Structure 1
Amino acid sequence: MHVRAYNYWVSLLGGRAYPSIEDLDPANIADFGANSVLLDFSMGIEDPSIQYLGRSLREECGVEASIRKISEVPSRSLLSRLTDHYLQIIANRAPIGFEAEFVGQKGHNTLYRGILMPFSSDDDTIDFIYGVINWKVMVDAETQARLAAEVEAARRDLPRTQVAAPAAWADGPSSGFSDTPVDESPLAADLLDAEAGLADLLDHARACAADVGQADQRTRAALYRALDRAYAFAEAAARNPQGYAELLEDAGIKPQARAPMTPVVKLVFGTDHDKTRLTEYAAVLTHARRQGVPAEGFAAFLSAASGGIKGIVAAERAARRPEPRPDTLAAAATSLRARAPIASLPIAAGDEEFVLLLARAGLDGMLEVVARVEGEAGLTEKAIRRAGA
């Protein structure tokens, strides 16, 4: 939303240093007007007046339409997070974007992203600032991860309706935009899978990976989403090996025949990402491919896995572990028991069933036993295996 707002601001410049305040009508901006506020500095910058406050922003902050000054903005409200930045506009004389998280008035962890843009009444002085902000109220990590997995599984089941994807850039607030932002549309990923090139799939996966770890409350959900996009990219790369090889070469990453998913996660999460995590992510993707999971079923596979990511990693490591070599000692011993003796010697056998003897060749062509090898169980077992094979 803040990108679209910035494009709108640019469209109003008309070669001037700042857009004219006369060209701005927030109440008639259907795209993001409800999420915006207009500050008036014409009477001074100490306590600017609020000329417009969008409905959605007003409802979220729990303020009435009668609020007129910044000093009346409730502390710890979303509106306060936006208006706290207005002096930076005066200092920088250019739009500024910002994003962060905070615990709001209702005690909920809230992620927000916004932009403040300067306007002028005389093409030179910044006496108005227009701000647009979007936000998400987060639940606890476990609930968020479960909901994200359920939504993703449900999205996979949706019919792939062929609709025109909204543009990511535009000249105005209502030009080609739907009511839902492009990156949050439930059909956006499906359209991307169906129509985008390999590089676009990688960019989308990287964008999801960039969300991992940005906030503790959404880490697991963001990670599941990033892995889902990484798996979709891996499946597309398998269908386009030449394009995949070019992406690897551009990134300076070497393919690995024995670990084919490692380059994939390096492309998505970055080569400077924690090596242990990269290894685990690659194991998750590899196990999904080993199980024949299609790209559209990966989210459900991940959410249904016992033990989550750790459980999948353990299962993949167990699957790669070589089968234990069969114990040939018992079979060799059984074979030797059935054989006829070559000779019988008057030597006490003791408690052992098999005894290792050392012989030398005599002058008459006979073998002369010169010693009994004792205390070497490993050597005796090796001889049994060799003789009984």
Structure 2
Amino acid sequence: MDTLRGLDDDRTGTDHDEDGNASVNDVGHDIGTDERRMHVRAYNHWVSLLGGRAYPAIDDLDPTNISDFGANSVLLDFSAGVENPAIRFLGRALRDECGLDASIASIAEVPSRSLLSRLTDHYLQIIANRAPIGFEAEFVGTRGNPTRYRGILMPFSSDEDTIDFIYGVINWKELVDAESQKKLNAEVDASLRAAPRVTPTAPAWADGPGAEDEINDDAETEADTASRAAASIAGALADQLLLAQQTAAAARAADTRTRAALYRALGRAHDFALAAAEDSEGYAALLADAGIKPQARAPMTPIVKLVFGADYDKTRLTEFATVLAHAQRHAVGVGALTALLDAAEGGIKGIVQAERAARRPAARPDVTKRAVARLAERAPIASIAVETDAVTGEYVLLLARAAGHGMLDIVASVEGSSALTDRAIRQAAH
């Protein structure tokens, strides 16, 4: 039985194939980082074809011209019914692996123990979920060898509403059986023990060439270990992104505005953002694969583009990025954002407003108000009778002309310009 990595299934456990052979679902150490990212790239390609629709149009898909993963893919056609979908395209690598020729035309003709059957067995689940689904497992193939595989199925439509096509991408790694691996390990160990030791022809001084070579050997070993660790982390990051993308696609494909689906997707996006912060190189590689540029001033925008798709509504993407920034500013932990959104007054809108308010610069002190208060304490220079509509205590700007002998002739009252009056008040209060 395979493990479906869709919607809410985050578990990693042990499954069994048709013969009862145990298999560990976590295939991270056997399928490399590039292969893991293949499914992220396949999902990104699916998102790039959405164009604002619930499902991409089948007319926009051309598997024959997808050099990245086309050879590992299959296209199923349900337009004539779901009982026995037709196979419209079968990639060369997948065809060769399964030993199939060009005559295969439907799912009914797929050999039951072939790698292709691991893809086609899931088509009813994707119709029920109405969103892309990833899966991974181990099984014993037709050649009798254990094989670990990882796949993703993505819905397509001919009318923007009905799922009548499914495009699947799968990658695999054939493993050596346990008994053969044990024998191989024993042979390698015996060979290493039997190999003659190389004796240095010159003294290995502590600061001489021998010591330097020893240090270099150690450094290479440490570098190899670091490289393997980095590859494992990068693979896990790609998996976490794919899980977040699947959750976002479920909300998007169903065109649901229910809080639960969207909050769950944002929660997964936040978890991915936390993981990406711990693996900057892996994150940069995922951005490069998706053709998304990092943004120093809006670091969460690339995150939501990766998860929800770069073609998603720009206003919504901005809101989602603001929610993630809020979670980052408040140090929200892994798996905690969904509950925070559930409890927040106003939900997403409320958090967006709170975050934007927190970003606003502090209000500048009202210097005009302070100037008015200072002028109110001053004694008038003179009092004259001038007809005006101003109320008591209100300031009026008068224009005067020097008349000689210390006299001023008031010639006009400047009204209707509060900005000019305020500026005069601030100047006079100095």
- TM-score scaled by length of structure 1: 0.50
